[in-house]
Structure 1
Amino acid sequence: MDYKTQVINGTTYAFIDKSHWNSEKKRGEHKRKYIGKVIEGKLVFNKKYLLEKQLETQKTSKPGPVPVTSCKRSFYGAVYLLSCIAEKIGLRDDLKACFGDIYKELMSLAFYLVLEEGQAMYRFKKWGHTHVHPFGADIPSQRISRLFGMITEDAKMAYFKRQAKRHCETEYLAFDTTSISSFSELLKQVKYGKNKEGDDLPQINLALLFGEVSMLPVYYRKLPGNIADVKTIDNLIKDVDFLDLVKLQLCMDRGFFSQKNINELMKHHHKFLIGARTGLKLVKTHLDDIRDSFVTRSNYNPALQLYVCTFTEQWDYEEEKPRLGTIKTGKRRVYLHIYYNDQHCTDDRNRFNHMLDRYEEELQTGKRKREHEGAYAKYFIVHETPARGIAIAYNDKAIREAEKDFGYFALLTNSIKDPVEAIRIYRMRDLIEKSFGNLKERLDMRRMSVSSEENLEGKLFVQFLALELMSYIKRQMEIHDLYRNYTMQEFLDELDTIEYYQQPGRAHHLSEITEKQRKLYEMMGVDVPT
């Protein structure tokens, strides 16, 4: 091919010079397109040029099945299930609309992550050779890296927007974050922060929205590893507004509670349900009034097996008006639900005593820890003399103050009057925590090993697609009590044994499908393959 070269800082770059007519300036101009470098007399193409050529080849290639030239048998049953689920939840159509020609490759990678628990991407070749899958051919490691780089922010947000419209117009969305450790020093957002796994490694944080009715993940965003939960709401609201949800309904734990966050949600007329600390003034005032008479039969709810009461309160609302330089204030109605659980009270007391035992031992042995100094001063009275050594006494007043709220917890909401409905929705937050567990354990996400920002973004998105598929399966397994007999991997393996036979000049056919396998497909809401 014809190309020109230019030496910049000692490196020889190759480019194609294209002339074009500038209609505005009424003159001919030249535009350079860099295609690579010349190294030892040989042209080495850059990634961008190779990707463009590959896409051109895909667009000009004729669609349709490739004729079979030899006998082949492939595993089919589990991939068929995932393909049907992708149709049901709109994953396939939305991927095709947002990502065009590469959507089948993205689906195949997501299917691989679901079916091959904890396997790295580079092992796709072996799996792809033995399974029927949407793309139908090998996706080498180099191609996978390029695919990750082709997943743009615009395409991702368009996909989230479509999925949100399908599933999340009327349901509460559980919101939470998790930390993902990384060994890479090249990722900008990898920072040291509060690691929820206890790893002593830098990390990124991942925020996820999860539907309370659909039980499907809706949206995620990547955060720097040193960002605290309480600081994430403002940007979440901006991102979710882009999804065009009529009204956002968020369910969050108390780590996200702050006056600023509550005001921000109210400002945008969003509904919320959030855990509140018992030490919060609004909660503490009511607890002090009811604590002595709360645990009675009249406050007991047999359905929840909890003691329950509800208060209607006025929230001191503030909204800053930057243009005017003023602050708008007012009152907004909220509902405060307070609960008490005997078992939680016992558990809290046991944990507290174990903690005090550990601190006391550290004081007696002289192995004090800097991060515990505040607790030493709060709960112990320590005297040290040359003759008697260390004498330790308890600060009973501080200990009683800490113990008085054991077993109590509170929820604050601007929309749910019924305490039973509030706790039901709040408990659905467990789904999001389990989803993070699935994401890390099954989807090769405990440690991120990518070395570039674009690869990280792409890999996270494919893992999100896999999480959508797994979440659907998990829900159906729970509905039909399948976890009594199967783990998720065992369930998928049961269907994966169905084979797909291909022979030259003949129509394909499937291996025998047992009655057990037929019932499993029916429980998933999927037609039996024929």
Structure 2
Amino acid sequence: MPAKPSGEIKTKIVRQPQKNGDIYILERQTIYDPDKKYNKVLSSKLIAKIPKGEKDPVPTRPKRSKATKSDTETKIVSAKRMHVGMMDIIDHIGKVSGIDDAVYASTDIGTAQKIISLARYLLATNGQSLPGIQTWQFNHPLPYEDGISEDVYHNLFVQVGLDESLQQSFFQKRCESLSVEDALAYDSSTISVYSENQNDARFGFNKAHDGLKTIKLLTLYSIDSRQPIAFTKQPGNLPDVISVTNAIKQLTALGVNTTEIVTDNGYYSEQNLSELLQAGFDFITLAKISLKWIRPEIDRHMEALDDFRTICPFDHATHGVTVVLMQEFKKIRKYSNHKNGAEKGSEETFKRRIYLHIYFNKSRQTDDKTALDDDLYELKTLLESGTAIEDLAPAAQEKASKYFTVKRWGGKITATANNKAIKDANKYHGYFALVSNKEKDPFECLRKYRKRETIESFFEAEKQHADGTRARVWYTDTLRGRMFVQFISLCYYEYFSEEIRKLKAVLDSEINSGNLKSEDLKTTKKLRTWVNNTPLYLQLQWFDTVEQVEISTKLRSRRWNTEITSCDALYLEKIGLNQE
């Protein structure tokens, strides 16, 4: 009678010859299967082998253990692919301009890093909306490394909007960079608002003409360094002219007392000139030629303004003369004077020497006359089609009353032109006037005033490159914080724009000098063509293709040497980004 199977697992060593002559030594585990009546192999493990022609066995290498989850996570964190070329340029801009230092000096390091990171995102993406930063930051290095989410930047806007000390501290740092000869342009722009929670949003003059309520952004801008210095906001229905007093107070508080202020005619009033004079500021402002003390001077100097000797040296279509006047201004006493009995709050007069610069431009005269003719013809058509004067816009109502007499004959309406009024208006087309208490020369005054127009390009950049067309936040303080971050981004943009303008001048000079070698001249010409035909945003995007796998000085050095062209290298050298 056969023995009963024990059911135990048996382990034995077996030798298994291979076709190549090697002999594998296996550790095999078996168990007897009573149904099939043979030993069943449970496992077979290779523990050694005897190479062909050898006698001694050689142990086999143990299998590599599988990586643990923690090991895998560590490797993923340490391996990064980042777009660093563009961000290196922006980092360079922030450092050499002093903008980053001013932000860091105005608040704690975490808040500063968030502000700078958002400002750099707006510059790098040409003003893309902020939700996009949540994915964009994964492959673009930013100062704030903990990650910026929608909650993070919303809370930042609230914090910054309530922290007036942070904002004014930054503005003060900007003012410290001004030179004695710097002139500041002062102007406004409007931001359209959908939110009903913005208390400053009012119906007023809307430069976008979209019918929405607006908030007014008022900016001080250095026309010499092409840099924004400070800003404030006010309700959209307040006229520009009443904001000058607050601008004077803000500048005085920031330590600026002698700067020249340049404005257009929206800010002209004798009260504003009085305030500027009392505060010790110099000024240039465009004044309305209809003023009672300016119109007679134009009449007296019409012949001189048609004289060859009054031609502007840098604009031959413009003639200019200067009239020196002792102008009387009014002021309200801030303090009592016991010696002469003057009471606080009483009105006094004082006189100051004022330079009235009168200009005439023949081309402007033609354009103004054509524009008036077009407006009046359109207005005449509206009136004769049955549109009541009361239904017109306020400006159109004023023109209709001044230039037309409307009569009805049965069902027919006629609008008869007031030819004398039109002739009187055309008489002064082409004339304009600047008023200053400092600039004696009419053409130096005109040169500075025209440089004021650079602030218009700043407002255009604010709307096109910093997502400033709409408020995009619900509350007033949050908007103030958002506007501050946009302001930092615009500081970057304006500084970089000025550097590129300088670069163009340098390239032109080097090409025209004749001192460059053939290969260098070819590269320089290629760079000049590229810079002249490539917008600022696309210049940055060009370098966004430069990638880095790890953050390392050696890798960075290798990157710039091997992954950019000679033209790219020259560009980086010229903007001051020296590579190691």
**The two structures share one fold, judged by TM-score above 0.5:** yes
- How far apart, in 1, do the equivalents of 2:410 and 2:199 lie? 53
The aligned residue for residue 420 of structure 1 is: 443
Which of 159, 165, 187 matches 1:176? 187
Matches of residues 430-445 of structure 1 in structure 2 within 5 Å? 430-445=453-468
Which of 144, 148, 152 matches 1:139? 148
Maintained 8 Å contact 1:271/1:414: yes
Task: Report the CA distance between 1:99 and its aligned residue.
Answer: 1.3
Maintained 8 Å contact 1:68/1:503: no
The aligned residue for residue 262 of structure 2 is: 251
SS in 2 for 1:445: coil
Aligned amino acid, residue 100 of structure 1: D
Task: Report the CA distance between 1:230 and its aligned residue.
Answer: 0.4
The reply on whether 1:477 has 2:486 as its aligned counterpart is no
1:358/1:237 CA distance change after superposition, 3 Å: same
The reply on whether 1:386 has 2:386 as its aligned counterpart is no
The reply on whether 1:120 has 2:129 as its aligned counterpart is yes
Maintained 8 Å contact 1:119/1:443: yes
Structure 1 residues 50-77: Cα deviation after superposition (integer angstroms, max 9, x where no partner): xxxxxxxxxxxxxxxx998432221112
The reply on whether 1:448 has 2:460 as its aligned counterpart is no
- How far apart, in 2, do the equivalents of 1:188 and 1:267 lie? 33
Size of the aligned set, in residue pairs, is 463
Maintained 8 Å contact 2:363/2:430: yes
The aligned residue for residue 522 of structure 1 is: 573
Task: Report the CA distance between 1:225 and its aligned residue.
Answer: 1.1
Task: Report the CA distance between 1:500 and its aligned residue.
Answer: 2.2
1:70/1:342 CA distance change after superposition, 3 Å: same
Moved more, 128-137 or 235-244: 128-137
- How far apart, in 2, do the equivalents of 1:192 and 1:504 lie? 54
The aligned residue for residue 232 of structure 1 is: 243
Which of 279, 291, 314 matches 2:326? 314
The reply on whether 1:208 has 2:219 as its aligned counterpart is yes
Aligned amino acid, residue 83 of structure 1: D
- How far apart, in 2, do the equivalents of 1:261 and 1:147 lie? 37
Task: Report the CA distance between 1:227 and its aligned residue.
Answer: 1.0
Matches of residues 458-469 of structure 1 in structure 2 within 5 Å? 458-469=481-492
The aligned residue for residue 541 of structure 2 is: 493
Maintained 8 Å contact 1:494/1:517: no
The aligned residue for residue 16 of structure 1 is: none
Maintained 8 Å contact 1:175/1:210: yes
Aligned amino acid, residue 499 of structure 1: E
1:168/1:436 CA distance change after superposition, 3 Å: farther
- How far apart, in 1, do the equivalents of 2:552 and 2:242 lie? 61
Task: Report the CA distance between 1:522 and its aligned residue.
Answer: 3.2
Task: Report the CA distance between 1:243 and its aligned residue.
Answer: 0.7
SS in 1 for 2:294: helix
Structure 1 residues 455-511: Cα deviation after superposition (integer angstroms, max 9, x where no partner): 211110000000001001212223334662111121111222222221799965535
SS in 2 for 1:281: coil
1:72/1:403 CA distance change after superposition, 3 Å: same
Aligned amino acid, residue 381 of structure 1: T
- How far apart, in 1, do the equivalents of 2:101 and 2:496 lie? 19
Maintained 8 Å contact 1:344/1:407: yes
Maintained 8 Å contact 1:334/1:412: yes
- How far apart, in 2, do the equivalents of 1:441 and 1:342 lie? 34
Maintained 8 Å contact 2:251/2:257: no
Aligned amino acid, residue 528 of structure 1: N
SS in 2 for 1:123: helix
Task: Report the CA distance between 1:223 and its aligned residue.
Answer: 0.7
SS in 1 for 2:325: strand
- How far apart, in 2, do the equivalents of 1:206 and 1:83 lie? 27
Aligned amino acid, residue 380 of structure 1: F
Structure 1: gaps spanning 5 or more residues: 1-65
The aligned residue for residue 398 of structure 2 is: 374
- Structure showing greater radius of gyration is 2
- How far apart, in 2, do the equivalents of 1:103 and 1:396 lie? 63
State TM-score, norm by structure 1.
Answer: 0.83
Aligned amino acid, residue 281 of structure 1: K
Task: Report the CA distance between 1:293 and its aligned residue.
Answer: 4.6
- How far apart, in 1, do the equivalents of 2:553 and 2:433 lie? 68
Structure 1 residues 317-362: Cα deviation after superposition (integer angstroms, max 9, x where no partner): 2221144143332210011111111111111111111101110110
Moved more, 402-411 or 360-369: 360-369
1:67/1:109 CA distance change after superposition, 3 Å: farther
Which of 429, 439, 450 matches 2:452? 429
The aligned residue for residue 198 of structure 1 is: 209
Matches of residues 5-44 of structure 1 in structure 2 within 5 Å? none
Task: Report the CA distance between 1:393 and its aligned residue.
Answer: 2.4
The aligned residue for residue 85 of structure 1 is: 93
The reply on whether 1:73 has 2:81 as its aligned counterpart is yes
Maintained 8 Å contact 2:369/2:426: yes
Maintained 8 Å contact 1:349/1:403: yes
The reply on whether 1:95 has 2:103 as its aligned counterpart is yes
Moved more, 86-95 or 171-180: 86-95
Maintained 8 Å contact 1:216/1:472: yes
Task: Report the CA distance between 1:513 and its aligned residue.
Answer: 2.3
Aligned amino acid, residue 497 of structure 1: T
The aligned residue for residue 284 of structure 2 is: 273
Task: Report the CA distance between 1:110 and its aligned residue.
Answer: 0.4
1:135/1:514 CA distance change after superposition, 3 Å: farther
SS in 2 for 1:448: coil
State TM-score, norm by structure 2.
Answer: 0.76
The aligned residue for residue 349 of structure 2 is: 329
- How far apart, in 2, do the equivalents of 1:67 and 1:178 lie? 51
Aligned amino acid, residue 243 of structure 2: T
SS in 1 for 2:177: helix
The aligned residue for residue 295 of structure 1 is: 306
SS in 1 for 2:356: strand
Maintained 8 Å contact 2:385/2:413: no
Maintained 8 Å contact 2:284/2:449: yes
- How far apart, in 2, do the equivalents of 1:246 and 1:523 lie? 36
Maintained 8 Å contact 1:80/1:529: no
SS in 2 for 1:226: coil
1:228/1:330 CA distance change after superposition, 3 Å: same
- How far apart, in 1, do the equivalents of 2:75 and 2:310 lie? 72
Task: Report the CA distance between 1:315 and its aligned residue.
Answer: 1.5
Moved more, 97-106 or 368-377: 368-377
1:448/1:69 CA distance change after superposition, 3 Å: closer
The aligned residue for residue 24 of structure 2 is: none
1:167/1:86 CA distance change after superposition, 3 Å: farther
The reply on whether 1:401 has 2:420 as its aligned counterpart is no
SS in 2 for 1:510: helix
- How far apart, in 2, do the equivalents of 1:480 and 1:346 lie? 38
Task: Report the CA distance between 1:292 and its aligned residue.
Answer: 4.0
Maintained 8 Å contact 1:98/1:155: yes
The aligned residue for residue 49 of structure 1 is: none
- How far apart, in 1, do the equivalents of 2:172 and 2:75 lie? 38
Moved more, 165-174 or 144-153: 165-174
